[in-house]
């Protein structure tokens, strides 16, 4: 049993500069843009006015020669705290196992510098403070191995072919990773669409959205778990009635990564045996089976509240996929067999 604490400082952070500002004297045409048109749907507001339908983003950038400028810096930080418990059974009578449990929490100001930036240009990294994208509150991992006793004391071909087989496995159970809900439009009119909505129903806060199956009526269950009516402005709100706050924070009332996807239930197994050919020569056989139960893991739902499919889970994914892995990007059962001659 033990306690782990890690702090990361100076981690890579993605910042977006040269955002549209309000109010501002346009460097392009000398017009002072400092007023919002009462009709947010007006596509041709008067000089000096902006609207949601015509925000005049390019004219309000400090340097009109460029669009948004990505600035990579070492401004992010992170904290990791975990209680870890591990129980082991050493190899005995051909069998061993290890059970590990972690109760943890990971907080940072940006888990991937290629995604997400501060909501407003001059916000500090603290404006993105929230659970890490890879946070998992609970995680249990069981590993085991067993040398099958059949024909272990036999002789000849029977022992060579049927004895000495090794069975091993890995079972992982973990909480779901967090995700953010987005407003789906540029609330603060700075040219970066990463603003968040207002939460109307506190009962859905922190909810797990983890079922991509359909209910008897044909509706995807995840849409009921994350209803658009819990947020403002939802898709059915007319543009003229939406929140529009040029020069504001765009933060709404929701923090980053405040909802959770489906947890992990994974069972992998392997069967292996080494055949002795002659002195210094062996033939190694190994068969691996991933996701033995063929259990799907649903991906995150649509998180843009202006989307017609907001809250709907439309796909699965493989949380264990990595560059160079032989597994596909979904959670279907995968089997692979290898045969290696060693000399």
For residues 157 and 236, what is the distance between their CA atoms, to the nearest angstrom?
A: 74
Summarize pLDDT for 112-125 with one digit per residue, the tens: 766 666 766 777 67
Confidence of residue 154 (pLDDT cuts 50, 70, 90): low
pTM of the model: 0.84
pLDDT tens digits, 43-70: 999 999 999 999 999 999 999 999 999 8
Task: Please report, rounded to a whole number, the percentage of residues in the chain having pLDDT higher than 90.
Answer: 62
Lowest mean pLDDT among 95-109, 117-131, 182-196: 117-131
> From CA 300, how far away is CA 137, in angstroms rounded?
17
Higher model confidence: residue 126 or residue 114? Answer: 126
From the centroid of its chain, how far is CA 22?
Answer: 33
What pLDDT does residue 127 have? 79
Task: Confirm if 225 and 219 have CB atoms less than 8 A apart.
Answer: no
Residues whose CB is less than 8 angstroms from the CB of residue 322 and which lie 6 or more positions away in sequence, other chains included: none
Greater confidence (161 vs 74) lies with 74
- Segment 151-177 shows an average pLDDT of 82
CB 192 within 8 A of CB 19: yes
CA–CA separation, 14 vs 111, rounded Å? 10
The pLDDT tens digits for 98-110 are 999 999 999 998 8
Question: Which tens digit of pLDDT belongs to each residue from 291-331?
Answer: 898 888 899 999 999 999 999 999 887 665 544 444 444 55
> pLDDT class for 144, splitting at 50, 70, 90?
very high
Reported as a single tens digit per residue, the pLDDT across 69-84 is: 988 888 889 999 999 9
């Amino acid at each position: 049993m033990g306690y782990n604490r890690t702090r990361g400082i100076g981690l890579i952070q993605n910042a977006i500069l040269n955002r549209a500002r309000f109010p501002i004297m346009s460097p392009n045409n000398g017009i002072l843009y400092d007023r919002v048109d009462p009709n947010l749907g007006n596509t041709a507001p008067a000089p000096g006015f902006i609207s949601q339908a015509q925000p005049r983003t390019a004219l309000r950038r400090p340097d009109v020669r460029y669009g948004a400028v990505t600035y990579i810096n070492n401004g992010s930080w992170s904290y990791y705290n975990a209680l870890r418990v591990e129980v082991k059974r050493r190899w005995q009578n051909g069998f061993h196992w290890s059970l590990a449990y972690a109760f943890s929490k990971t907080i940072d100001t940006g888990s991937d510098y290629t995604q997400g930036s501060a909501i407003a240009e001059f916000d500090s990294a603290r404006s993105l403070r929230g659970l890490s994208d890879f946070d998992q509150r609970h995680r249990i991992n069981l590993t085991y191995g067993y040398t099958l006793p059949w024909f272990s004391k036999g002789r000849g071909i029977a022992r060579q072919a049927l004895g000495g087989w090794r069975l091993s496995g890995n079972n992982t159970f973990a909480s779901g990773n967090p995700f953010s809900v987005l407003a789906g439009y540029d609330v603060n009119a700075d040219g970066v669409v990463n603003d968040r909505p207002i939460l109307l129903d506190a009962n859905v806060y922190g909810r797990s959205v983890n079922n991509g199956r359909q209910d008897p009526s044909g509706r995807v269950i995840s849409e009921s778990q994350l209803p658009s009516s819990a947020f403002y402005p939802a898709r059915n709100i007319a543009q003229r009635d939406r929140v529009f706050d040029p020069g504001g924070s765009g933060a709404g009332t929701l923090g980053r990564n405040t909802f959770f996807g489906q947890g992990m239930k994974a069972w992998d197994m392997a069967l292996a045996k080494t055949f002795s050919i002659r002195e210094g020569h062996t033939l190694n056989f190994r068969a691996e089976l991933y996701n033995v139960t063929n259990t799907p893991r649903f991906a995150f739902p649509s998180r843009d509240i202006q989307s017609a499919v907001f809250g709907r889970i439309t796909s699965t994914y493989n949380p264990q996929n990595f560059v160079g892995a032989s597994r596909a990007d979904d959670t279907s059962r995968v089997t692979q067999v290898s045969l290696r001659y060693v000399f």
